[in-house]
């Protein structure tokens, strides 16, 4: 499991105190997390600063950061040209206090950006110069993920969870052939897969979920949760555990990226998930596609 920091930065779900951000980073490291996922756009660069302070002097933590989102304007713009990316990498290295970034991802580019080749060529140059160790793409959908793999990406990051699995499943063959690492984000579908929401749940204006689903869509998605509750049994104590274990059960997933906003949330998720190597039983995984079909979810 890896630590994701979009929600922690305050950008996704509303403000998070700096002191709590520091507690989460410190607790994750204490618990043995060795991968932290971030981006230069999270908190306008402040999240990278916090991570840099937390891991100063440590070489046992893999840092994944992303670039290509320019927040100097409102609304933010995408920039994947050579000059912008080179400057962005240098800024991230400075904030993270690292001479070399372990994994650098293009932050949600289009297929056309990847097909043009300039952005990927720039990252290859930066790798040759020793400024990044590995490069890849944080993809908004499977088509971009496929284009990234065909461009030679060493790592792809993609949303992947029980209710959103089809995109990665369709890429499985190409991932295996390429040998690329896979970071699975949105492992709990922005909290939906905790199974604790009321159908009339409301979100604050600062929470991206306020506009992600209409009230009827949210109600439908909460209804779908009933089809996965059969996974909660024996050592799988909660739906949260089932959700994360589902992601970990996929052998092509390198890391399930969690997104806690507090140290208490982090501890709860880890406690719920428990230890492997048996994450979900084969018999349950075999039944799951039929249940997803009954729920109206593509696999």
179-192 pLDDT, tens digit per residue, is 999 999 999 999 99
What is the structure's pLDDT at 274?
85
Cα separation of 87 and 65, whole Å? 14
Which pLDDT tens digit goes with each residue over 35-59?
A: 999 999 999 999 999 999 999 999 9
Which residues constitute the domain of residue 57?
Answer: 2-191+240-288
Q: Give the per-residue pLDDT at 74.
A: 80
Scan for tokens 């070399």, then name that residue.
100
Q: Quick check: is 210 in a domain? A: no
Regions in the chain scoring below 70 on pLDDT:
277
Residue 225 domain-assigned?
A: no
Asked if the structure places residue 261 within a domain, the reply is yes
Structural domain includes residue 270? yes
pLDDT of residue 68: 96
Other beta carbons less than 10 A from residue 23's beta carbon: 15
Number of CB atoms found within 10 A of residue 157's CB: 28
Distance CA 26, CA 51 (A): 10
Can you give the pTM of this predicted structure? 0.95
Give the count of domains, the chain.
1
Residue 253 belongs to some domain of the structure: yes
Which residues are identified as catalytic?
A: 42
In a domain, 296, yes or no: no
HEC letters along 112-143: HHHHHCHHHHHHHHHHHCCCEEEEEEECCCHH
Query: Could you tell me the CATH number of the domain that includes residue 260?
Result: 3.20.20.100
Model pLDDT, residue 75: 85
d(CA 50, CA 56): 10
In a domain, 234, yes or no: no
Query: Is 8 inside any structural domain?
Result: yes
């Amino acid at each position: 499991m890896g630590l994701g920091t979009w929600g922690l930065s305050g950008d996704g779900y509303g403000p998070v105190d700096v002191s709590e951000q520091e507690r989460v980073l410190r607790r994750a490291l204490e618990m043995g997390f060795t991968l932290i996922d971030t981006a230069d756009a999270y908190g306008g660069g402040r999240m990278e600063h916090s991570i840099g302070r937390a891991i100063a002097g440590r070489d046992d933590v893999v840092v994944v950061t992303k670039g290509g989102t320019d927040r100097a304007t409102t609304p933010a713009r995408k920039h994947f040209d050579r000059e912008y990316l080179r400057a962005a990498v240098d800024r991230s290295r400075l904030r993270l206090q690292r001479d070399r970034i372990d994994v650098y991802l293009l932050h949600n580019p289009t297929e056309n950006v990847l097909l043009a080749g300039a952005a990927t060529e720039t990252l290859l140059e930066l790798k040759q110069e020793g400024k990044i160790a590995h490069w890849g793409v944080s993809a908004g959908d499977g088509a971009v993920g496929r284009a990234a793999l065909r461009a030679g990406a060493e790592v792809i990051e993609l949303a992947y969870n029980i209710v959103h699995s089809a995109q990665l499943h369709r890429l499985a063959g190409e991932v295996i052939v390429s040998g690329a690492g896979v970071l699975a984000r949105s492992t709990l579908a922005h909290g939906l897969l905790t199974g604790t929401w009321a159908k009339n749940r409301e979100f604050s204006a600062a929470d991206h979920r306020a506009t992600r689903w209409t009230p009827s869509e949210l109600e439908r998605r909460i209804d779908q949760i009933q089809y996965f509750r059969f996974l909660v049994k024996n050592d799988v104590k909660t739906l949260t555990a089932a959700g994360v274990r589902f992601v970990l059960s996929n052998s092509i997933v390198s890391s399930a990226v969690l997104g806690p906003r507090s140290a208490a949330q982090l501890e709860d998720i880890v406690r719920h998930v428990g230890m492997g190597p048996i994450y979900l039983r084969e018999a349950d995984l075999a039944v799951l596609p039929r249940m997803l079909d009954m729920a109206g979810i593509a696999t």
